[in-house]
Structure 1
Amino acid sequence: MTPPRSPGPGPANRPAPQRPWHVRLGAALPLRYVLRRLAGTAGLLAVLSAAVFALLRVAPGDPARTLLGTRSATPQALAAVRADHHLDDPVAEQYGRWLADALHGRLGTSIRTGQDVTAVLGDRLALSAQLVLLGFAVAVALGLPLGVLAGLRARRPADRAVQSLAVVTLSTPVFAGGLVLIYVFSLMLGWLPAYGPGSGGGGDRLLHLVLPAATLGLSVTAVLVKLTRAAVVRELAREHVTFALARGIPTRRVLIRYVLRGTVVPVSTGIGLVLAYLLAGTVMVEQVFALPGLGQLLVGSVTFKDVPVVQAEALLIAALVCLANLTTDLVHPLADPRLRTAAATAPADRDKGQA
């Protein structure tokens, strides 16, 4: 009796061909889902831009006098300002003209300095972006590992210690935390500079941003710790994780392939919220450490009633926050296959129900 032959390299036994990256990306992010998210973000930006444009209208006094600043408010000067800014046109036309200029990067002229607002923001944007990115790195580097540790050691001394530290950092005002870091690391130890952006190269700038970034990052680390801990505890209680551990699968493999992978969606949502908060939280940090960034510019512009700069900066921050939220929404289907199915089938199921 001849032994059975092994199956040959027929079509059924050949490995499936690898699909191109754009095909796999399209399957993970359906076009309809992406378009709906883009449309929602565009609608939100339109509403926020209308609110930002209304800042000039809700400001006390005549808009022409506000835009005139400290210059002499003669009838001729007021008439020139009204003509330059089309203040006598209907409000809808003014908003459309202002929005079109903003989309083309024409944000007006600063009342305080007389410079182009785009140039004023450009000079400050680099420093604030560096501060936000470093603070974000501090928050992620501390919040995620501590949250995982607290989740794995739930209701144990390590968990209680991590949560106590999180409560302390969350309840400490940003300016108080900054002053404590300045006192310890600048005045007592003399390791780091206390204020200013530095005047040297990249290394000097990085040295000056260590304390501000630590202050900014610690203010939101507790949020990531809480979200990560809750996600880890929830995933450890799921049936497939319990079953995998009961089968004798190594604990490290279960943690990486099942527990940590299941926490990606809630943790990424928290990361998006933290990034949005950091964009708005630079105001106090830049004031404490005397950093000439967007936050300090905003405080000075509000004090001086420099409406064009306030409008431009508010619109920029709103756009960055909306972009962070949009990125988070698009990352979710890539991280969780269940959301891919929901993103692809939800519109079809809704249309079927309406029919």
Structure 2
Amino acid sequence: MLRRLLGRLGAAGLLLLLVSFLVFSLVSMAPGSLETTLLGARPASPELIQNIRVQYHLDDPFLLRYLRWLADAAHLDFGRSIVTSESVSDAVSARAVVSAELAVLAFGVAATLGVPAGLAAAAWAGRAADRLITLSAILGMSAPPFAVGTLLIYLFGVRFPVLPVYGAGDGPGDRLLHLILPATALGIGLAALVVRQTRAAALGVLDQDYLTFARARGLSRARIQTTYALRNVALPIVSSLGLVLIVALPGAILVEVVFSLPGVGSLMVESVGAKDIPVVQALAIFSALYVVVVNTGVDLCSLLIDPRLRDGAAR
């Protein structure tokens, strides 16, 4: 198990190194001069352009510039924003709190709705309840989060104004109220994905002999599903929940824009529009790190859930 863990961490490190090189390379190869982009709206003069070239080491060879940038990034130093002159690390960390809270709530919505509904659909396979749940899941997967968010804004912000639809609020209680609709808009599509994955995994388990024997013993449906079925479909469920966390990343960008949330997603949109290169580079690296951490966490949870994987890793 330790060998597998070390292997996964090594692969994650190599992946992050590759992503960092690609991000730096693509920015360097973007159309136009880096000096013009880094100047932003400031008037260009030969002296200012020369200062920019010296500040960002643009006269150095490409590989040397990349290694210098990588060394700074390893210390979480991504420079300063072109637009606000604020430290990039401070700007990202300030926005990350809202995005993290949104992701946790959306994940809770997806897990709370998706896992029980998927198990119920598998238990009633072929019946009307199964068809209704499957149809609902298809509709949920087909509806973009920003469209669901717009509908929720109309229903609960305009038609029946019971929940706030703008901003992140102040204080824990107000923040929770402001995040209910965004988390619901993001979580509905993610829950639909969990329903499909859970139903497919449970269908292969519910016909096993040990569940038939449990039903013959007179055990209740709820106990069979929670004690026997859920334990044996936990591995694919964990994998689907990890996939949900990864899929939530691009969806959160649009949801934050729709609800005017000051999160990482809206920061990405603003930075790309303003050609704020240091911020875009930092967000790309943090996005890759997020995906790597989620995948590594799913692997570790899989090792803890299924002893057979630990035995295979030990050999």
Query: Which has the greater radius of gyration?
Result: 1
Deviation for aligned residue 1:183: 1.2
In the other structure, the counterpart of 1:108 is 79
Match of 1:307 among 262, 277, 285: 277
Aligned residue type for 1:312: A
Whether 2:173 is the aligned partner of 1:203: answer yes
Q: How does 1:139-154 map to 2 (within 5 A)?
A: 139-154=110-125
CA distance in 1, matches of 2:164, 2:226: 40
Aligned equivalents of 1:111 and 1:219: distance in 2?
A: 36
User: Which consecutive unaligned segments of at least 5 residues does structure 1 have?
Assistant: 1-29, 346-355
Residue 119 of structure 1 deviates from its aligned partner by: 1.4
- Residue in structure 2 matched with residue 351 of structure 1 by the alignment: none
Q: Give yes or no for contact 1:55–1:307 (8 Å, CA) kept in 2.
A: no
Q: Please give the root-mean-square deviation of Cα atoms over the aligned residues, in Å.
A: 1.5
Do 1:212 and 1:289's aligned partners in 2 also have CA atoms closer than 8 Å?
yes
Deviations 1:36-71 (A, max 9, x none): 111111111111111121232122111222222222
* Residue 250 (1) aligns with residue 224 (2): no
CA distance in 2, matches of 1:249, 1:324: 40
Q: Following superposition of structure 1 onto structure 2, how do residues 235-314 of structure 1 map, counting pairs within 5 Å?
A: 235-245=205-215, 248=217, 250-252=219-221, 253-314=223-284
Number of equivalences: 314
Distance in structure 2 (CA, Å) of the matches to 1:103 and 1:286 = 28
1:147-171 CA-partner distances (Å, limit 9, x unpaired):
1111111111111111111111111
Alpha-carbon distance between aligned partners in 1 of 2:235 and 2:298, rounded to the nearest angstrom = 9
Question: What amino acid is the match of 1:295?
Answer: G
Name the structure 2 match of 1:233.
203
Task: State how far apart, in whole Å, the 1-side matches of 2:214 and 2:7 are.
Answer: 38
Looking at structure 2, the residues matched to 343 and 298 of structure 1 have their Cα atoms a distance apart, in angstroms, of 39
Aligned amino acid, residue 186 of structure 1: G
Deviation at 1:337, TM superposition (A): 1.2
Q: Is the 8 A contact 1:55 1:311 kept in 2?
A: no
Which of 93, 100, 103 does residue 122 from structure 1 map onto? 93
> Residue 213 of structure 1 corresponds to which residue in structure 2?
183
Return the letter of the residue paired with 2:231: R
Conserved 8 A contact 2:102-2:179: yes
CA distance in 2, matches of 1:135, 1:101: 33
1:31-46 correspondence runs (5 A)? 31-46=2-17
* Residues in 2 aligned to 1:132 and 1:342: alpha-carbon distance in whole angstroms: 33
Deviation sequence 1:98-140 (CA, Å, 0-9, x none): 1111110111111111111111112211111111111111111
Matched, 1:54 2:19: no
CA-to-partner distance for each residue in 1:296-319, whole Å, 9 max, x for gaps? 111111111111111111111110
Equivalence for 1:92: 63
**C-alpha separation in 1, matches of 2:224 and 2:149:** 40
Specify which of 153, 156, 171 is matched with residue 182 of structure 1: 153
When structure 1 is superposed on structure 2, of 120-129 and 253-262 the one drifting more is 253-262
Q: Any idea what SS the aligned residue of 1:235 has? A: coil
* Matching residue within 22, 34, 37 for 1:63: 34
- Structure 1 distance, partners of 2:18, 2:123, is 43
The residue type equivalent to 1:297 in the other structure is: L
1:326 equivalent to 2:296? Answer yes
TM-score by length of structure 2 reads 0.95
In structure 2, what is the Cα distance between the partners aligned to 1:173 and 1:281? 8
Check the 8 A contact 1:301/1:309 in 2, yes or no. Answer: yes
Cα deviation for residue 279 of structure 1 reads 2.3
